[in-house]
Amino acid sequence: MAHPVSPLALPMPALPPIPGVRVATGMAEIRYRAREDVMAMAFPAGTTVAGVFTKNRCPGAPVEWSRAALKSGKARGLVVTSGNSNVFTGKAGRETCAKTAEATAKILGCKPKEVFLASTGVIGERLPTEKLVGALPKVFDAATEAGFTAAAAAIMTTDTFPKASVHTAVIGETTVTIAGIAKGSGMIAPDMATMLSFLATDAKIPAAALQAMLKKGCDKSFNCVTVDSDTSTSDTVLLFATGAAKHPRVPAEGGPMLKDFARALNAVLMDLALMVARDGEGAQKLIRIDVTGAVTARSAHKIGMCIANSPLVKTAIAGEDANWGRIVMAVGKSGEPADRDSLSIAVGGVWMARDGGVVEGYDETPVVAHMKGREVEITVDIGLGKGKATVWTCDLTHGYIDINGSYRS
Amino acid sequence: MAHPVSPLALPMPALPPIPGVRVATGMAEIRYRAREDVMAMAFPAGTTVAGVFTKNRCPGAPVEWSRAALKSGKARGLVVTSGNSNVFTGKAGRETCAKTAEATAKILGCKPKEVFLASTGVIGERLPTEKLVGALPKVFDAATEAGFTAAAAAIMTTDTFPKASVHTAVIGETTVTIAGIAKGSGMIAPDMATMLSFLATDAKIPAAALQAMLKKGCDKSFNCVTVDSDTSTSDTVLLFATGAAKHPRVPAEGGPMLKDFARALNAVLMDLALMVARDGEGAQKLIRIDVTGAVTARSAHKIGMCIANSPLVKTAIAGEDANWGRIVMAVGKSGEPADRDSLSIAVGGVWMARDGGVVEGYDETPVVAHMKGREVEITVDIGLGKGKATVWTCDLTHGYIDINGSYRS
């Protein structure tokens, strides 16, 4: 089931090699024959790691494995599979993870707990462990520093375009690179979309500082993007730092010398997160929602996500209708503090409603023109405080129903 | 824009007259010419009233009016308009409510605060108060006890079938009647759906007891039904009790003698709520979700609503696919206590997954047959406690996108 490339697709940048980070993809026949379904990465000794995982309360076995492995802060290998998510597989699923990590550790000469795992694909079926373990030596053998770029395409499932981003930062006077890839919002029938993202840098950063930055960056990027409000059981973001770059020592707690690195990391995360929204199932328009004047930033985020997840708002935008009544509805539905009579709403920078009523002499013309574009901007001012947040989503179209509801009928 | 009658429609019962409850519909040209857009009800002196309203934090002016009027517990009149919801209309909206109530009070010889108001329709436009007030004398003049049945059809907006229900109950040894009508899940472009329901009974029940029963009944009926997770700013349920029936005096706190009345009231509310789900925009299937084994009833309700509002679950059911992986996802997404390894899932009474894994020898055949029907039953056992809840929804189809996203494109 091939879908046309999203009209919101962006060109893919070439990723420079991150010294010591070797990447390869290969076939293990996990679900289909003659399809690339394994992506592996090897890291040099001394690599630190940070990770952010799904908040779903029923996560897959690989999420639990990687979450536990994160405690040491060290990484030497990564194995990502598609076709089977190893979710809802009980004890067998945990064994698959242990065996995969052990086999990888043997190949790389490291401890199993230095191997990270992520999977996407069908739920509730046992992952064919022998096939996967059998394929690993050949895959790691083929791993090269040049393989990172190709991996962006290889981890696509029904993504319609590959997603990669690279930014540089300065630590001390040394330039370091952060490169990342992501897959998301595609779907392997009969399965849910899963967002996976893997980043690598040559910076030398203690795991605790790396984790703090990744967590903060994801909160402002991946956690501000929604396609359909559904949360996969396998979402995983991992950042590996090899330490090959020759910059001054970064203290465990990070601190001011990582300011520029944090900026660049946030830029990579934001690039990738927005690509996921741009490739949202059936997406025809990218929607940015700025919420200001909420009582807190957290409240602003909740209101923004409530607007972004409202089927009535999303279908209105698909219909190119600046239906601000539906936005009022979504603000009120969020349950967050809001006073109808202090609420203001703009679309495409044009204020339509101010302080609880329609703007005097409101002219719809520029708003209608804005709605016809590929990128729609909504601003909601709650008028109560200083809390603000920005979230992104896509519109809800027939394409979403086609992708998710029609494959059997 | 007429839509075909929902395949889930039920035949409409004839409502018996409730003595003293006079109902009429009429035209006030609120938004369109030559369309019925006012429904009015008059009640005899001594009528008590209970009400349940939208939880939306940005409710319409009529909701605020009726909520305030409810404090006295007495009702003599009801005015319902369509075409304009009088939401997000600021001071002008409040004035419209006051003037409408004053005009009605003059006609009926009662206090303005004994008049209840509800509206559905476009948001953010001033309701033409003079037109509405001017139309009221003629509408109330035409009100008859026989008008209740016709009102069910008259308050439809883009509902595809009229919704009414009647049940009887015994208080002491006297039989009383509870009749109700509802509209819901239709839409007047460019507006959101609004659920309105009005019930009347000849029972004589103190307002406090009536309110307690209505609240409890709505929590188990209307508040357990979702079409698209979006919450209107105008949802209103009102129950009027005329007191014409000759049964023993009911104490203020209600109590055991209202047990049968509560049963019948719940039956009417449940009938109407399920009709709203059956007429959900684009609905092709009615979905019942039973959650058992949650830590509390509240937790079970949250999990049920999270499944019911999941676009991936709803599109899977539209596609007649028993995709229990998406149900696992939705349980985990709810944020409520759940342990993947104790979770069990059944569709159409057939257990597919038990205690965190696929059922040994699971045969999909009966499940596939069940999914092809108009009514789909999902059971989820969380395996942690004794909390249970049941919620209803409909599937998510191209029809929903057509109705909500295509009227301008």
Q: 3-state class of A93 per DSSP?
A: helix
Q: Which residue of A has its CA nearest to B322?
A: A190
3-class DSSP assignment, residue A7: coil
- Who wins on pLDDT, A133 or B1? A133
Residues A242, A19 contacting (CB under 8 angstroms): yes
Going by C-alpha positions, the residue among B307, B325, B299, B331 that lies closest to residue B229 is B307
What residues in A contact B404, CB-CB < 8 Å? 311-312, 315-316, 319
Smallest Cβ distance to B406: which of A85, A319, A405? A319
Q: Identify the structural domains of chain A with CATH numbers, from first to last.
A: 22-278 (3.60.70.12), 286-405 (3.10.20.340)
Which pLDDT belongs to residue B190?
32
Residue A377 DSSP SS3: strand
DSSP helix/strand/coil, A85: coil
C-alpha span between B66 and B87 (Å, rounded): 14
Closest chain B CA to residue A355: B90
Helix or strand holding residue A181 (H, E) = strand A174-183
Partner A contacted by B3 (CB < 8 A): no
Cross-chain residue pair B57–A338, CB shorter than 8 Å: yes
Tell me: the pLDDT tens digits for A211-253? Answer: 999 988 888 888 877 877 777 777 787 899 999 999 999 988 8
DSSP A252: T
> Is A341 at the interface with chain B, CB within 8 A?
yes
Given a cut of 90, whether residue A201 has pLDDT beyond it is yes
Judge: B90–A341 Cβ closer than 8 Å, yes or no: yes
Q: What is the ipTM of this complex?
A: 0.82
Measured between alpha carbons, how far is A11 from A153 in angstroms, rounded to an integer? 12
CB contact under 8 A, A357 and B318: no
DSSP run (H or E) holding A316: helix A311-318
Q: In what order do the strands lie in the sheet with A77-84?
A: A22-26, A38-42, A77-84, A115-122
pLDDT value at residue B197: 79
Q: Residue A51's beta-bridge partner residues? A: A238
For position A237, what pLDDT does the model report?
79
Closest CB to A311: pick one of B57, B59, B229.
B229
CB contact under 8 A, A58 and B331: yes
Q: Which of these is catalytic: B194, B226, B233, B393?
A: B194
Highest-pLDDT range among A58-62, A321-325, B108-112: B108-112
Task: Give residue A110's pLDDT.
Answer: 97
Contact criterion met (CB below 8 Å) for B73 and B113 = no
| Residue in chain B nearest A232 by alpha carbon | B329
A57 vs B: CB within 8 A: yes
CB contact A333 to B (< 8 Å): yes
Does the pLDDT of residue A191 top 50, yes or no? no
Residues of chain A positioned with their CB less than 8 A from the CB of B330:
230
- Is B316 in contact with A232 (Cβ distance < 8 A)? no
Note if A194 is an active site residue: yes
| Residue B88 · residue A341 · CB < 8 Å | no
Residue A15 CA to residue A166 CA, distance in Å, equals 6
B125 in contact with A, Cβ within 8 Å: yes
Nearest chain B alpha carbon to A339: B58
Q: What is the pLDDT of residue A379?
A: 97
Q: Does the pLDDT at position A167 exceed 70?
A: yes
* Contacts A–B by Cβ distance under 8 A: 226
| Percent share of chain A, pLDDT over 90 | 54
CB contact under 8 A, A405 and B315: yes
- The one catalytic residue among A48, A100, A129, A194: A194
Pairing of strands A387-394, A286-294: antiparallel
* pLDDT given at position A112: 98
Quote the mean pLDDT of chain B: 88
Confidence bin at A194 (pLDDT 50/70/90)? low
Residues in chain B: 409
**A220 annotated as ligand-binding:** no
Closest-CA residue of chain B to A227: B311
Structure tokens at A15: 């990723």
The average confidence (pLDDT) of chain A is: 88
pLDDT for B222 equals: 80
Q: Note whether B373 contacts A: Cβ–Cβ < 8 A.
A: no
Q: Say yes or no to pLDDT of A186 above 70.
A: no
A121 pLDDT band, cuts 50/70/90, is confident
Task: Measure the CA dihedral A97/A99/A100/A104, to 10°.
Answer: 140
Q: Which residue from A312, A224, A314 is spatially nearest to A272, judged by alpha carbons?
A: A224
- The reported pLDDT for the residue numbered B123 is 80
**Low-confidence residues in chain B, pLDDT < 70:** 1-3, 185-194, 231, 406-409
The predicted pLDDT at position B337 comes to: 93
**pLDDT value at residue B61:** 93
Task: Select the more confidently predicted residue: A344 or B121.
Answer: A344
Predicted pLDDT of residue A185: 58
| pLDDT tens digits along B383-406 | 999 999 999 999 998 888 888 886
B320 in contact with A, Cβ within 8 Å: yes
The answer to whether B376 touches A124, Cβ cutoff 8 Å, is no
* Residue B101: C-alpha distances to residues B36, B41, B80 (Å): 20, 13, 11
Task: Inspect the interface and report whether the beta carbons of B404 and A228 lie closer than 8 Å.
Answer: no
B178 in A contact zone (CB under 8 Å): no
Residue B330 touches chain A, beta carbons under 8 Å: yes
Distance from CA of A73 to the nearest CA of B (A): 27
Amino acid A1: pLDDT: 45
The phi and psi torsions of A301 (rounded to 5 degrees) equal -60, -45
For residue A2, the model assigns a pLDDT of: 58
Does A400 sit within 8 Å of B315, measured CB to CB?
yes
What is the structure's pLDDT at A192? Answer: 41
